[in-house]
Chains A and B, each alone.
Chain A
Amino acid sequence: MLGEQRRAEHEGALTEPASGRLASPDIRDEFGLETIDMNMGPQHPAMHGLLRLILELDGETVVRCDPVMGYLHRSKEKISENRMYPAVIPITDRIDYMNNIAMEYGYCLAVEKLLDVEIPPRADAIRALMNEFGRIMSHIPSVGFLLLELGAFTPILYAFRERERIQSIFEAVTGARMMFHYIRIGGVKADLPEGMTETMWEYIEGLEKRLQPDFVDLIGGNEIFISRTRGIGKMSQEKAVEMGLTGVPLRCTGVEFDVRKHYPYGWYKNLDFDVITDEAGDVEASYRVRMGEVRQSIRMIKQILENLPEGEVLGDLGRRLRPNEGDGIARIESARGEYAVHVVSDGSDTPYRVHYRTPCTVNMQLLQEIVPGHYLPDIMPIMGLIDPVSGSWDK
């Protein structure tokens, strides 16, 4: 529907003179130059899934950029209303398919607030542990994607090597490589398998060694990478706050905001970590922030593994959950920004309403605001700055 509406608006806009937006109207009139309308996506390799950009180009300069969402809309919120509380978890898995575990985590936290139950400490620690693995698993490929969109094909394969190894850890712990369905209401599905802490420890130490040569020295020091990313997608702190950005796009402008730090939930209260910020607010800064966050995640995983509490991992809440009337809200820091879930109960065994506040939907505003004035190839690094996931902005 939105697409249709946008198309109508767009066609209307074509007949109107767009001279207000053009870089040099005098020259344009003198030579009778026109802008090109270009439709990028939804089937486009660099659109992070199914995003459509309606672009107006003056040569290579973007005059206007209208993102059109909705090509991967799967009615997550409506489906959630028709399923029993525990059965919604697999639905949430598919929202942000690069960072699934955080999506489960947010929903379960919201339902637990609704039910007002205590979580066994070991389950809480394992949740945070897996969530941080999930963050690494999302941040490293996102740097790979950024480079892929700049035209370097190799880093994505190095990034996916790390992702595959973490996926193997997830497979051993949860039984699935991608759609985990691991975090449950009241705890986690199962305890860590035998010897898992050693495997995790080994992997994390290996990653710490590989991070500098593979992802910092090879990428961050590359002259072409710097020239393509420095100053691109630059935004001020005020602008970022005004647009309601969260996550890396906000932190790379220098605003220190991290839900884990400022509204701590679960095991994060017991962890010692820094909020990584950068002053520049451009694509290069977002890359540095992501790398810094991976280091912080490694630090947190080490802390969790060092003192992992013993005990149960899943409390007994009965077979059928019937929360009292009311609502529960949970905010968590997913790899892309603040992810919030609002669950409203009417006393039955299915939620009355579930709302997922996904960071990508909000962060995508950047495109409309920041892209005009940049060159066409700069759209790709700006997409890398936001690092959106199709499933996450469409739900």
Chain B
Amino acid sequence: MQTVLNLLEVEPIRLLISFGAVLFLVLNLAAVLTMAERKVSGYIQLRYGPNRVGPRGLLQPAADVFKLFTKENVSPGRSDLWVFLGAPIAMFIPAALVWLVVPFAPEAVVADLNVAILFFVAITSIGALGVVMAGYGSRSAFSLLGALRGAAQMISYEVPLILSLLGVVMLTGSLSLVDVVQAQGDTIWTWYFLPQLPMFITFYIAGLAEVKRVPFDLPEGESEIVGGYMIEYSGMTWALIQAAEFASMAVISAVTVTLFVGGWQPPLPFLDLGPFNWVWFGLKTALIMFTFQWIRWSVPRLRMDQLMDLGWKILVPVTLIWLFVTAGAMLVF
């Protein structure tokens, strides 16, 4: 046991092991989230959702994964095979990498980078690459349209996403996510979502667009371009895209919680759970993800031009104005 703990002292090995643990977590989270998604949609839609496999249908994700593993991996005849097969990986890795800087608890963070927010911004924008690769590699008009939409959407929503982070960075004076959480304190009214409310809402909306959830699921647009960039995928490549989507949804929720809703901090000081404060982090993340799913099953999809209007004409000005307000307030107080 002691040797194992000693090994953890060695930085590369510690990183490797903890990243392995995070990867394990992400993959399982994706499975749990598919189940949650189907149950939530079921209850919203006056039905039960999966309830046949295992107790209360809880083994459904396992059955799904088994089915997807046994499915043949079909690739279109004229596809650009390397690009086609590389796309799911290019989508999944960024979604998993962001978890490296997310603090679950004061000590439980794989890498407490002093530029964690920059890392988050840089890595999430790579996600668009996977979408473009998938759309281009499949060589289908439908997937090409999906990829173009995906690229345009993710690049234009990157701007309000980053701008809405700046308020938090200004207030904290640090790019480290651990510092951000510690600066927010352990009372609900000192968390940043109150003073930064417009930024919080912008970040939430831009995050929704970033992870391609309804009402911003245009790259998929299942009613007009039938799945968009992922139309040609099957079997495990498709499963990897799905896992990437769920993982990025989870990571956006986690980052939202870290930046605006106090991370692992309890809402009131007497609710401090000590070493189990990660429970607060988990609960808050789950709540944000639930709202994502709630929205997913409640509203229709926007159109591409309306999406761009919302991003450039509303969200960007709002964030810019609030940046000035924040700066002014910091100058005065």
Contact indicator B223/A46 (Cβ below 8 Å): yes
Contact indicator A44/B226 (Cβ below 8 Å): yes
CB-CB under 8 A for A228 and B303, given A46-B224, A154-B45, A376-B145: yes
Contact indicator A228/B302 (Cβ below 8 Å): yes
With a cutoff of 8 Å between Cβ atoms, the chain B residues found around residue A225 in the complex are 300
With a cutoff of 8 Å between Cβ atoms, the chain B residues found around residue A206 in the complex are none
CB-CB under 8 A for A157 and B46, given A60-B304, A376-B145, A376-B225: yes
Q: Does B47 contact A (CB under 8 A)?
A: yes
CB-CB under 8 A for A148 and B223, given A36-B141, A153-B41, A154-B298: yes
Contact indicator A45/B226 (Cβ below 8 Å): yes
Contact indicator B46/A151 (Cβ below 8 Å): no
Q: Does B301 contact A (CB under 8 A)?
A: yes
CB-CB under 8 A for A224 and B215, given A45-B226, A377-B221: yes
- Residue of B at shortest CB range from A151? B301
Interface size grouping (class) on chain A: 20 to 34
Q: Does A69 contact B (CB under 8 A)?
A: no
CB-CB under 8 A for A45 and B222, given A38-B141, A161-B46: yes
How long is the Cα–Cα vector from A39 to B144 in the complex, in angstroms?
Answer: 13
Contact indicator A151/B221 (Cβ below 8 Å): yes
Contact indicator A227/B223 (Cβ below 8 Å): no
Contact indicator B300/A377 (Cβ below 8 Å): no
CB-CB under 8 A for A375 and B303, given A149-B223, A151-B214: yes
Interface readout for A124-158 with B: 1 if CB under 8 Å, 0 if not? 00000000000000000000000111111110011
Q: Smallest CB–CB gap between A383 and chain B, Å?
A: 10
Contact indicator B45/A153 (Cβ below 8 Å): yes
Q: Does A222 contact B (CB under 8 A)?
A: yes
Q: Smallest CB–CB gap between B39 and chain A, Å?
A: 14
Q: Does A389 contact B (CB under 8 A)?
A: no
A226-240 contacts to B, CB under 8 A, are: 227-228
Q: Does A294 contact B (CB under 8 A)?
A: no
Q: Does A380 contact B (CB under 8 A)?
A: yes
How long is the Cα–Cα vector from A44 to B45 in the complex, in angstroms?
Answer: 24
How long is the Cα–Cα vector from A151 to B223 in the complex, in angstroms?
Answer: 7
With a cutoff of 8 Å between Cβ atoms, the chain B residues found around residue A377 in the complex are 218, 221, 223-224, 301, 303-304
With a cutoff of 8 Å between Cβ atoms, the chain B residues found around residue A385 in the complex are none
Q: Does B19 contact A (CB under 8 A)?
A: no
Q: Does A104 contact B (CB under 8 A)?
A: no
- Residue of A at shortest CB range from B299? A224
| 20 cross-chain CB contacts under 8 A | A38-B145, A39-B141, A46-B224, A60-B304, A149-B223, A150-B300, A151-B217, A151-B222, A152-B297, A152-B300, A154-B44, A157-B46, A158-B46, A224-B299, A224-B302, A228-B301, A228-B302, A375-B304, A376-B225, A377-B224
- Identify the 7 closest CB pairs spanning chains A and B, nearest first: A151-B301, A150-B300, A152-B300, A157-B45, A149-B223, A38-B141, A46-B223
Q: Interface on A for B, CB 8 Å cutoff?
A: 36-39, 44-46, 57, 60, 147-154, 157-158, 161, 222, 224-225, 227-228, 375-380
Known contacts A227-B306, A375-B305, then 20 further A-B pairs from the complex at CB < 8 Å, ordered by chain A residue: A36-B141, A36-B144, A45-B222, A45-B226, A57-B141, A149-B224, A151-B214, A151-B217, A151-B221, A152-B298, A152-B300, A153-B41, A158-B45, A222-B299, A224-B300, A227-B302, A376-B145, A376-B224, A377-B218, A377-B303
